Amino acid sequence: MNKPELYQLLDDRKIKYTAYEHPAVFTVEEADALNLPDPDAGTKNLFLRDQKKQNYYLLTAREHLPVRIKDFQKKIGARPLSFASEEDLGRILGLIKGSVTPFGLLNDTEKQVQFYLDAYFQNRTISAHPNENTATVFLQADDLMRLLEANGNPVQWIRLDDMQQQGNP
Domains of the chain: 3-24+40-165 (3.90.960.10)
Query: In this predicted structure, what is the pLDDT of residue 25?
Result: 87
Query: In this predicted structure, what is the pLDDT of residue 35?
Result: 84
E strand or H helix that includes residue 56: strand 56-62
pLDDT (tens, 9 = 90+) of the chain, 169 residues, equals 999 999 999 999 999 999 999 998 888 888 888 889 898 999 999 999 998 889 999 999 999 899 999 999 999 999 999 999 999 999 999 999 889 999 999 999 999 999 999 999 999 999 999 999 999 999 999 999 999 999 999 999 999 987 654 444 4
Query: In this predicted structure, what is the pLDDT of residue 164?
Result: 54
Count other Cβ atoms within 10 Å, centred on residue 165. 8
- On whether the pTM is more than 0.75, the answer is yes
Strands 155-158 and 113-118: parallel
Collapsed DSSP state (helix, strand, coil) of residue 1 = coil
